[in-house]
């Protein structure tokens, strides 16, 4: 078997696709592209596709990963182009590499997230972030199929800060009001979260910010995963799991 690891995106309106929706779309793309898939044994064979740590529904992502096993050798870049053409725009296959071993999920140690908080002043966000980072533990609740679960979301956060960008710092966005365009505040957070159990998601951190500092954005946050992969604890960077020698995704310096 030949193993190919792929990186794909969820952009625009396609961020609202569930993981199951993506699985169906990807398996159709495999058939359209006539990919020579390897299949499992047994009475109900299925193509060997391994999905890893999918982003929640409604969240955009530049760094989703999966691995496929092929029965015949194919050039990874040609395969990437065929699959990308067979998927709808927004679900874009942007990278493909051949690997010799399994273990993709173990390489995804942390994620870098961007949270856009429209209607929140950057200084208000900074104060909330400082309160969150100063806490030894921040307990939040999440509904599960077994009921409401309480857990600490602070331990998984290695970095959290307000981005020092024009959009987040001094330049207001413009929104349409009843009497024409008006200025609106906007804070953009950069968040690095370890992949622990239970998994801590961006909405859990937002719940934590509300718990410690009463931060409550007037509209839902726009969340995008920028990267996921091995975590360098010293530099606060998350490197590319497909090619460790590539440039890391830098996380701005801050206090954790």
> pLDDT tens digits for 72-119?
999 999 999 999 999 999 999 999 999 988 889 999 999 999 999 999
pLDDT given at position 201? 95
For every residue of the chain, which 3-state class applies, written as one string? CEEEEEEEEECHHHHHCCHHHHHHHHHHHHHHCCCCECECCCCCCCECEEEECCCCCCCEEEEEEEEEEECCCCCHHHHHHHHHHHCCCCCCEEEEEEECCCCHHHHCCEEEEEEEEECCCHHHHHHHHHHHHHCCCCEEEEEECCEEEEEECCCCEEEEEECCCHHHHCCCEEEEECCEEEEECEEEEEEEEECCCCCCCHHHHHHHHHHHHCCCCCCCCEEEEEEEECEECCCCEECCCCCCCCCCECCCCCCC
Is 247 inside a domain boundary?
no
pLDDT given at position 169? 44
Judge whether residue 148 has pLDDT over 60: yes
Judge whether residue 252 has pLDDT over 80: no
Give me the domain span that covers residue 15. Answer: 2-107
Is 246 inside a domain boundary?
no
pLDDT given at position 235? 78
Task: Kindly state whether residues 94 and 160 are assigned to the same domain.
Answer: no
Number of domains in the chain: 2
Task: Kindly state whether residues 124 and 216 are assigned to the same domain.
Answer: yes
Is 255 inside a domain boundary?
no
CATH of the domain at 210: 3.30.70
pTM: 0.86
Work out whether strand 222-229 and strand 110-118 pair parallel, antiparallel, or are unpaired.
Answer: antiparallel
> pLDDT tens digits for 223-241?
999 999 999 887 778 988 9
Task: Kindly state whether residues 26 and 95 are assigned to the same domain.
Answer: yes
Task: Kindly state whether residues 136 and 17 are assigned to the same domain.
Answer: no
Is 244 inside a domain boundary?
no
Task: Kindly state whether residues 103 and 126 are assigned to the same domain.
Answer: no
Q: What is the average per-residue pLDDT within 37-44?
A: 90
Judge whether residue 200 has pLDDT over 90: yes
CATH of the domain at 96: 3.30.70.580
Judge whether residue 174 has pLDDT over 60: no
Task: Kindly state whether residues 147 and 214 are assigned to the same domain.
Answer: yes
């Amino acid at each position: 078997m030949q193993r190919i690891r792929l990186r794909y995106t969820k952009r625009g309106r396609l961020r609202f696709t569930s993981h199951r929706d993506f699985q169906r779309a990807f398996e159709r793309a495999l058939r359209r592209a006539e990919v020579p898939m390897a299949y499992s044994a047994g009475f109900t064979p299925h193509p060997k596709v391994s999905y890893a740590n999918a982003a929640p529904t409604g969240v955009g992502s530049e760094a989703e990963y999966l691995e496929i096993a092929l029965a015949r050798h194919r050039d990874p870049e040609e395969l990437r182009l065929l699959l990308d053409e067979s998927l709808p725009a927004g679900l874009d296959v942007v990278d493909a590499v051949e690997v010799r071993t399994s273990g993709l999920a173990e390489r995804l140690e942390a994620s870098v997230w961007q949270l856009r908080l429209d209607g929140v002043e950057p200084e208000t966000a900074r104060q909330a972030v400082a309160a969150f980072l100063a806490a030894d533990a921040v307990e939040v609740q999440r509904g599960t199929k077994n009921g409401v679960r309480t857990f600490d979301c602070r331990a998984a956060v290695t970095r959290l800060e307000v981005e020092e960008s024009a959009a987040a710092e001094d330049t207001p966005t413009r929104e349409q009001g009843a009497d024409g365009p008006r200025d609106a505040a906007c804070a953009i957070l950069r968040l690095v979260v370890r992949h622990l159990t239970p998994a801590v998601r961006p909405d859990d951190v937002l719940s934590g910010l509300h718990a410690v500092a009463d931060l409550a954005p007037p509209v839902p946050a726009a969340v995008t995963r920028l990267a996921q992969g091995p975590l360098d604890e010293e530099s606060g960077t998350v490197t590319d799991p497909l090619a460790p020698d590539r440039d890391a995704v830098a996380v701005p310096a801050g206090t954790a």
